[in-house]
Structure 1
Amino acid sequence: MKIIKELLILTIKKREIPYYYFKFLYSKDVKNYLDYLSTKEVVAIGSSSMLHKPEYKSLFDNKLFFALFCEKSSIRTPKLISYNLGSSFYFNNKNEKICSKKELVLFFEKMFTLLNIEGLFFRPPSDYGGKGCFKLTRKTLVVEINKRYESIVNGCFVHTEIINQHTEINKIHSKSVNTIRMISFITPEDEIEIICAFMRFGVGNSPVDNASSGGFCVGINLNEGTLKPSGFFMLEYGGGKVQEHPDSGFKLDGFKIPYFKEACEEVIKAVKIIPNRFIGWDVAITQNGTTIVEANWDPHIFLSGYAYGGLLKNKHIRNLVKELKTKEK
C-alpha cells in the first residue's frame, strides 16, 4: 500500500509514470522520495542549451580532445603520454605506423625506457562508464600485447600516465583508481557551486571504479569531506548496500578524504576555464594532491541524487528546475 501511495503521488506531482522509482527509490530507507529528480527533470537538465554549450559538450565527449585541451590550460590532469588512431601511434610529436605485435612491443619498450615509466593507462576516447579501459605495464607488456593487439590497432585509445593513488585510499581499495564525482553548477548570479559529491570504488581486480562497471558509490559529506555510513551498488549489480569495502573490509563511515578541500578548489578553477553551467567532474586523489581525470556534461544525475539523498533538497537544484520549467513555458 505504501508503494502504491508513493507511486500515485509521484505520478500526480511529477506528471509522468515514475519508472525511476523502482530503480533508485524502491527502498524502505528512502523517506523523502519527493526530493528526487524525476526522469523528465533529469532529461530537462541534460538537454538544456541554457546549461550546455555545444562547443563544451564536444570537448567533454572526447577524452583525447579533453586531454589536449588540458595540456594547453592550467587544468591539472593525468599527463597525456601518447595515443593511437587505429594503427597510427603518436608519441613525442612523431607518428609511427604499427604493422605487427613485435613493432608494438618495441614502440612501448622504447617509450618506457625513454620516460622511465612502468606503465600506461588506456582509455577509448568516446566510451563511458570505464568500458574498454586497461593498463599496459612494462612487466606484462608482451603478454598484454599478445592478448590485446587486435583491439588496440583496430581501435582508438588515449594513453596517459598511471595515477599514483593516495596511500590512505589504497587502504580501502588499491586495484583501481577510486575517483570522486563532483557536480558543479554556475548559478544565474554567476557563482560556482559544488552541488554534490560521491566517491566511487572498484571491486575485485577491475581497473575501473565506475558503478556501471560493477563498482559502488558512497556519498560524501561536503562540509567535512568524509564518507557517509554506507555505499550502494547499481540495481543491475544487485542494488545492495555496503558499510565496508567487500574486498578489504575497510569501514566507510567517516573516512576523511585526503585533499578534499583542494579537490573542490581544483574543480572550481576548472569551471572558470570551461564555464559550462552543469558539469560532472571525476577527480582522483594522489599522494601529492588532486588531478581531474575527466569531465562530463551528462553525469549520472540519478546516481548523484541517490548518493546525495535527493537533489531537490539543494536550493540551487530546486531553483534550476523552476528556471527550466519557466523557459519551457
Structure 2
Amino acid sequence: MKQNRLAVFLKDKNKKPPLKIIKECTVLLFQKREIPFYYFKYLYRKNVVNYQDYIGTKEANRIKYRDTFHKEEYLTIISNKLNFSLFCKQNDLPVPGLVSHNFESHFFYKKQLHSVENLKGLMEFFKMVFKDSGQSVLFLKPISLYGGTGCYRISKDTLEEDLSNNKEFLLKNCCIHEEVVVQHEEVNKIHPNCVNTIRVETFIDKQNQIHILSAFMRFGVGSGFVDNAHAGGFYVGIDLEKGTLREVGHQYMEYGGAEYKEHPDSGFVFKGYTIPFFEEVKDLVIRAVKCLPDRYIGWDIAISKNGPVIIEANEYPSIFMADIAYGGYLKHPLYRGILEEVR
C-alpha cells in the first residue's frame, strides 16, 4: 500500500537531528543548484554520512535523457517486449519462452490468428494454448509498460477466475504470453512467491568499452508475484567482485521506506549470501550489450535452475535505486566521467 512520503519521513526514528538535516540540505542546495528533494528519499538517515556522494535529481535526469546514450534503433527493440523477446531469441540470448501474444482482440499462437472478443473466446484460446504447449502457467505482460504494471499470471487450473479478473485489460492492450521461469532453489530460500530479479546497469564509454556499473537484487514480499520496488518490494545491493548480497535492503518511501537485514517473510539474512551463477550473469549482460549496444541500459536478470535468464532491458533505469544500492554513485570510478559527459 502506498504511503505519503512526508508521513514516512516524520515517523522515521532513524533520521538525523533537524539542524544537521538543514545544514546538509543547504550544502546540497548550493552544490547541486537545486532544492534537494531527493535527500528525503534516503539521505536524511543517521547512517548516511557520505550524503554528498549521491546523485541529484538534475544530474539523474541529464543522464537519463542524454540523447548520445541512446539510439532510436536500439530503443525500438528495448522498449517493445515482443521485439525484445524475438531479438534475444534470434541472437541466442536466454529469455523466457514466448508462447503466444495478442494485439488487443487479435491473438496469435504458432503463426495462427485468433479473433477473441469476450471471456468465452479468451477461455477457448488459452485452453488451446495450454493443451498444445504443455504449459500449466503463463506470465502475461504488456508489450510497452514498465514496473510490473499490468503483469498477470494465469494458470490452467484457475483459468476462468484468472481471465475473468483480467479480461478487460487483455482485450484492450497488447501483451506477450511467456513461460514462467523456474527460479533457482537457493533463491527460493529467500522468497519463493515470485521471480526475484537482479538489476545490472551497463555503460559503454567513449572508447567503446563496456562496463558493469552496479547491480542489486530485487525481492518481492508477501504473495505478490512481481518483485518491483514500485509494487512494494525492496532491493539489496550486490558486491560485484564477490557476487554476494550486501547487508541492508531498501524499500521505496511510498511503501514505508523500510530497511531490511533479512527478508521480512522468510527471515533469510542477506549479508554475504552468494548469488548462484553470478559470474554467468556478468558474462551474459556483456554479451547482451555487444548484441544491443545502447550505451546505458538496466538489465533485469532472473536466476533459473539452469543459469541466468534475461527478463527485460530498460533504457531508462531508476538511477536513484542503483545509487542507493551502490552507496553513492559519485564515489564510483566511472560515474564522474559520465556526469562530465552530460554537462
Normalized against structure 1, the TM-score is what?
0.96
* Range 110-119 or range 282-291, more displaced: 110-119
Residue in structure 1 matching 2:226, options 183, 208, 218:
208
Match of 1:247 in 2: 265
- Determine if the alignment matches structure 1 residue 5 to structure 2 residue 23: yes
- Determine if the alignment matches structure 1 residue 264 to structure 2 residue 287: no
- Determine if the alignment matches structure 1 residue 168 to structure 2 residue 181: no
The SS at the match of 1:120 is: strand
Residue in structure 2 matching 1:148, options 166, 178, 182:
166
Match of 1:221 in 2: 239
Following TM superposition, by how much is the alpha carbon of 1:146 offset from its aligned partner in structure 2, in angstroms? Answer: 2.4
Following TM superposition, by how much is the alpha carbon of 1:183 offset from its aligned partner in structure 2, in angstroms? Answer: 0.2
Match of 1:59 in 2: 77
Match of 1:179 in 2: 197
Distance 2:181 2:189 in 1: 16
Match of 2:8 in 1: none
Distance 2:35 2:121 in 1: 56
RMSD after superposition: 1.1
Distance 2:269 2:134 in 1: 37
- Determine if the alignment matches structure 1 residue 295 to structure 2 residue 330: no
Match of 2:12 in 1: none
AA partner of residue 21 (structure 2): I
Match of 1:276 in 2: 294
AA partner of residue 245 (structure 1): H
Match of 1:124 in 2: 142
Distance 1:230 1:178 in 2: 16
Match of 2:33 in 1: 15
The SS at the match of 2:69 is: coil
Match of 2:48 in 1: 30
AA partner of residue 232 (structure 2): G
Following TM superposition, by how much is the alpha carbon of 1:225 offset from its aligned partner in structure 2, in angstroms? Answer: 0.6
Distance 2:234 2:181 in 1: 20
* Range 8-17 or range 195-204, more displaced: 8-17
Following TM superposition, by how much is the alpha carbon of 1:147 offset from its aligned partner in structure 2, in angstroms? Answer: 2.3
Distance 1:324 1:147 in 2: 45
The ranges of structure 1 where at least 4 consecutive aligned residues each deviate by more than 6 angstroms after the TM superposition are none
Match of 1:115 in 2: 133
The SS at the match of 1:83 is: strand
CA contact (8 A) 1:183 1:195 kept: yes
CA contact (8 A) 1:24 1:302 kept: no
Distance 2:119 2:230 in 1: 32
Distance 2:99 2:287 in 1: 24
Residue in structure 2 matching 1:134, options 152, 169, 173:
152
Distance 1:238 1:58 in 2: 35
Following TM superposition, by how much is the alpha carbon of 1:316 offset from its aligned partner in structure 2, in angstroms? Answer: 0.9
AA partner of residue 67 (structure 1): S
Match of 1:48 in 2: 66
Q: Could you give the per-residue CA deviations for residues 175-210 of structure 1, whole angstroms, max 9, x where no partner exists?
A: 110000000011222111110000000011111000
* Range 81-90 or range 150-159, more displaced: 150-159
The SS at the match of 2:334 is: helix
Match of 2:112 in 1: 94
Structure 2: stretches of 5+ with no match in the other structure = 1-18
Following TM superposition, by how much is the alpha carbon of 1:250 offset from its aligned partner in structure 2, in angstroms? Answer: 1.1
Match of 1:198 in 2: 216
Distance 2:29 2:204 in 1: 30
Distance 1:55 1:319 in 2: 25
Match of 2:5 in 1: none
Following TM superposition, by how much is the alpha carbon of 1:68 offset from its aligned partner in structure 2, in angstroms? Answer: 2.0
Structure 1: stretches of 5+ with no match in the other structure = none
Distance 1:189 1:149 in 2: 49
The SS at the match of 1:90 is: strand
Distance 2:78 2:238 in 1: 24
Following TM superposition, by how much is the alpha carbon of 1:59 offset from its aligned partner in structure 2, in angstroms? Answer: 2.0
Distance 2:77 2:121 in 1: 32
Following TM superposition, by how much is the alpha carbon of 1:26 offset from its aligned partner in structure 2, in angstroms? Answer: 1.7
The SS at the match of 1:283 is: strand
Distance 2:338 2:172 in 1: 43
The SS at the match of 1:126 is: coil
The SS at the match of 1:276 is: coil
Number of residue pairs the alignment of both structures matches: 325
* Range 142-151 or range 254-263, more displaced: 142-151
Q: Could you give the per-residue CA deviations for residues 55-98 of structure 1, whole angstroms, max 9, x where no partner exists?
A: 22232222122112222222211111111111110110111001
Distance 1:147 1:276 in 2: 37
Over the matched positions of the two proteins, sequence identity in percent amounts to 46
* Range 105-114 or range 218-227, more displaced: 105-114
